[in-house]
Structure 1
Amino acid sequence: MIDFFGYICISLGLFFWFWGTFPLLGKRSLLFKLHSLSVADTLGSMSIIIGLLLKIPSEWPLLILALISLAIWNTVLGYVLAYCSSSEGNYE
Protein backbone atom coordinates (compact mmCIF):
# COMPACT_ATOMS: atom_id res chain seq x y z
CA MET A 1 0.00 0.00 0.00
CA ILE A 2 2.91 2.35 0.77
CA ASP A 3 4.39 1.60 -2.66
CA PHE A 4 1.09 2.60 -4.24
CA PHE A 5 1.17 5.99 -2.48
CA GLY A 6 4.81 6.37 -3.53
CA TYR A 7 3.88 5.82 -7.17
CA ILE A 8 0.99 8.29 -6.84
CA CYS A 9 3.35 10.97 -5.46
CA ILE A 10 5.90 10.35 -8.21
CA SER A 11 3.18 10.47 -10.89
CA LEU A 12 1.79 13.67 -9.39
CA GLY A 13 5.27 15.17 -9.47
CA LEU A 14 5.68 14.31 -13.14
CA PHE A 15 2.27 15.82 -13.83
CA PHE A 16 3.33 19.08 -12.15
CA TRP A 17 6.55 19.14 -14.16
CA PHE A 18 4.70 18.88 -17.47
CA TRP A 19 1.91 21.20 -16.31
CA GLY A 20 4.47 23.90 -15.53
CA THR A 21 5.82 23.90 -19.07
CA PHE A 22 2.49 24.74 -20.74
CA PRO A 23 2.46 28.44 -19.67
CA LEU A 24 5.76 28.86 -21.52
CA LEU A 25 3.83 28.57 -24.77
CA GLY A 26 1.40 31.38 -23.90
CA LYS A 27 1.59 35.07 -24.68
CA ARG A 28 1.90 36.35 -21.11
CA SER A 29 4.86 38.21 -19.65
CA LEU A 30 8.18 36.54 -19.04
CA LEU A 31 7.89 36.94 -15.26
CA PHE A 32 4.50 35.20 -15.23
CA LYS A 33 5.97 32.33 -17.23
CA LEU A 34 8.97 32.02 -14.89
CA HIS A 35 6.77 32.16 -11.81
CA SER A 36 4.38 29.45 -12.98
CA LEU A 37 7.27 27.28 -14.14
CA SER A 38 9.17 27.60 -10.86
CA VAL A 39 6.10 26.91 -8.69
CA ALA A 40 5.11 23.84 -10.69
CA ASP A 41 8.71 22.62 -10.78
CA THR A 42 9.06 23.01 -7.01
CA LEU A 43 5.80 21.21 -6.27
CA GLY A 44 6.66 18.45 -8.74
CA SER A 45 10.16 17.94 -7.40
CA MET A 46 8.95 17.88 -3.79
CA SER A 47 6.23 15.40 -4.67
CA ILE A 48 8.75 13.13 -6.37
CA ILE A 49 11.06 13.29 -3.35
CA ILE A 50 8.16 12.44 -1.01
CA GLY A 51 7.30 9.51 -3.29
CA LEU A 52 10.90 8.33 -3.09
CA LEU A 53 10.79 8.74 0.68
CA LEU A 54 7.79 6.41 0.79
CA LYS A 55 9.46 3.87 -1.49
CA ILE A 56 12.94 3.84 0.09
CA PRO A 57 12.60 4.95 3.73
CA SER A 58 16.14 3.82 4.52
CA GLU A 59 17.44 6.90 2.69
CA TRP A 60 15.36 9.37 4.72
CA PRO A 61 18.24 11.65 5.88
CA LEU A 62 19.36 12.30 2.32
CA LEU A 63 15.81 12.78 1.02
CA ILE A 64 14.87 15.17 3.85
CA LEU A 65 18.02 17.16 3.10
CA ALA A 66 16.99 17.26 -0.56
CA LEU A 67 13.52 18.55 0.40
CA ILE A 68 14.94 21.31 2.60
CA SER A 69 17.54 22.30 0.01
CA LEU A 70 14.92 22.40 -2.72
CA ALA A 71 12.61 24.62 -0.68
CA ILE A 72 15.39 27.05 0.26
CA TRP A 73 16.97 27.16 -3.20
CA ASN A 74 13.73 27.85 -5.06
CA THR A 75 12.66 30.52 -2.57
CA VAL A 76 15.97 32.36 -2.82
CA LEU A 77 16.00 32.04 -6.60
CA GLY A 78 12.51 33.55 -6.76
CA TYR A 79 13.63 36.56 -4.74
CA VAL A 80 16.72 37.02 -6.91
CA LEU A 81 14.63 36.93 -10.09
CA ALA A 82 12.15 39.43 -8.64
CA TYR A 83 14.96 41.76 -7.59
CA CYS A 84 16.65 41.57 -10.98
CA SER A 85 13.42 42.27 -12.81
CA SER A 86 12.50 45.23 -10.58
CA SER A 87 15.86 46.97 -11.02
CA GLU A 88 16.06 46.39 -14.75
CA GLY A 89 15.82 50.04 -15.76
CA ASN A 90 17.99 51.46 -12.94
CA TYR A 91 21.52 51.82 -14.27
CA GLU A 92 22.78 54.38 -11.74
Structure 2
Amino acid sequence: MAISLIDFFSYACLSLGIFFWLWGTFPLLGNRSVLFKLHGLSVADTLGSMSMIVGLLLKIPSEWPLLLLAIICLAIWNTMLGYVLAYCSSRGGDDE
Protein backbone atom coordinates (compact mmCIF):
# COMPACT_ATOMS: atom_id res chain seq x y z
CA MET A 1 0.00 0.00 0.00
CA ALA A 2 1.51 3.28 -1.13
CA ILE A 3 1.04 6.48 0.83
CA SER A 4 0.40 9.62 -1.19
CA LEU A 5 2.64 12.65 -0.93
CA ILE A 6 -0.15 14.75 0.61
CA ASP A 7 -0.77 12.10 3.27
CA PHE A 8 2.96 11.98 4.00
CA PHE A 9 3.16 15.75 4.52
CA SER A 10 -0.05 15.70 6.55
CA TYR A 11 1.31 13.05 8.91
CA ALA A 12 4.65 14.90 9.08
CA CYS A 13 2.89 18.12 10.14
CA LEU A 14 0.79 16.29 12.72
CA SER A 15 3.89 14.56 14.12
CA LEU A 16 5.82 17.82 14.18
CA GLY A 17 2.96 19.43 16.09
CA ILE A 18 2.96 16.70 18.71
CA PHE A 19 6.75 17.02 18.98
CA PHE A 20 6.46 20.78 19.61
CA TRP A 21 3.79 20.19 22.26
CA LEU A 22 6.04 17.77 24.12
CA TRP A 23 9.13 19.93 23.59
CA GLY A 24 7.37 22.91 25.19
CA THR A 25 6.20 20.86 28.15
CA PHE A 26 9.55 19.42 29.28
CA PRO A 27 11.16 22.78 30.27
CA LEU A 28 8.39 23.27 32.83
CA LEU A 29 10.35 20.93 35.08
CA GLY A 30 13.45 23.16 35.05
CA ASN A 31 14.63 25.78 37.54
CA ARG A 32 14.02 28.86 35.38
CA SER A 33 11.56 31.63 36.20
CA VAL A 34 7.85 31.07 35.73
CA LEU A 35 7.65 33.67 32.96
CA PHE A 36 10.49 32.03 31.02
CA LYS A 37 8.68 28.70 31.32
CA LEU A 38 5.38 30.21 30.19
CA HIS A 39 7.02 31.89 27.22
CA GLY A 40 8.64 28.68 26.04
CA LEU A 41 5.44 26.75 26.57
CA SER A 42 3.26 29.24 24.70
CA VAL A 43 5.65 29.47 21.72
CA ALA A 44 5.96 25.70 21.44
CA ASP A 45 2.21 25.18 21.83
CA THR A 46 1.47 27.80 19.20
CA LEU A 47 3.89 26.28 16.70
CA GLY A 48 2.64 22.78 17.47
CA SER A 49 -1.02 23.72 17.15
CA MET A 50 -0.43 25.59 13.91
CA SER A 51 1.53 22.68 12.51
CA MET A 52 -1.28 20.29 13.37
CA ILE A 53 -3.85 22.59 11.77
CA VAL A 54 -1.75 22.68 8.58
CA GLY A 55 -1.68 18.87 8.70
CA LEU A 56 -5.46 18.83 9.00
CA LEU A 57 -5.71 21.33 6.15
CA LEU A 58 -3.80 18.91 3.94
CA LYS A 59 -6.11 16.04 4.97
CA ILE A 60 -9.43 17.90 4.65
CA PRO A 61 -8.95 20.84 2.27
CA SER A 62 -12.71 21.41 2.04
CA GLU A 63 -12.59 22.93 5.54
CA TRP A 64 -9.93 25.54 4.68
CA PRO A 65 -11.93 28.61 5.84
CA LEU A 66 -12.36 27.24 9.37
CA LEU A 67 -8.81 25.95 9.60
CA LEU A 68 -7.38 29.25 8.35
CA LEU A 69 -9.50 31.07 10.93
CA ALA A 70 -8.13 28.74 13.61
CA ILE A 71 -4.53 29.58 12.61
CA ILE A 72 -5.24 33.32 12.68
CA CYS A 73 -6.97 33.09 16.07
CA LEU A 74 -4.07 31.10 17.52
CA ALA A 75 -1.56 33.69 16.32
CA ILE A 76 -3.55 36.64 17.68
CA TRP A 77 -4.52 35.00 20.98
CA ASN A 78 -1.02 33.87 21.88
CA THR A 79 0.52 37.20 20.90
CA MET A 80 -1.91 39.10 23.11
CA LEU A 81 -1.40 36.63 25.97
CA GLY A 82 2.34 37.23 25.76
CA TYR A 83 1.85 40.99 26.03
CA VAL A 84 -0.50 40.60 29.00
CA LEU A 85 1.98 38.35 30.81
CA ALA A 86 4.83 40.77 30.11
CA TYR A 87 2.76 43.70 31.42
CA CYS A 88 1.74 41.84 34.55
CA SER A 89 5.31 40.79 35.27
CA SER A 90 6.68 44.30 34.75
CA ARG A 91 4.32 45.72 37.39
CA GLY A 92 6.06 43.65 40.03
CA GLY A 93 2.91 43.05 42.06
CA ASP A 94 2.67 46.60 43.51
CA ASP A 95 -0.82 47.88 44.16
CA GLU A 96 -1.65 51.42 43.09
**Runs of 4 or more consecutive aligned structure 1 residues displaced over 3 Å after TM superposition:** none
- How many residues end up aligned between the 2 structures? 92
The structure number with the bigger radius of gyration is 2
How far the C-alpha of 1:91 sits from its partner, in A, is: 1.3
Could you tell me which of 43, 46, 49 is aligned with 1:39? 43
What TM-score comes out, normalization by structure 1 length?
0.97
Q: Using the aligned pairs only, state the percent identity.
A: 79
Structure-2-length-normalised TM-score: 0.93
Partners of 2:76 and 2:15 lie apart in 1 by: 23
What 5-or-longer segments of structure 2 have no aligned partner?
none
1:18 is displaced (CA, Å) by 0.4
Query: What is the RMSD of the two structures over their aligned residues, measured on CA atoms?
Result: 0.7
User: Counterpart in 2 of 1:51?
Assistant: 55
In the other structure, the counterpart of 1:7 is: 11
- Superposition map of 1:1-92 within 5 A: 1-92=5-96
Distance 2:32 2:77 in 1: 25
Q: Give the gaps of 5 or more residues in structure 1.
A: none
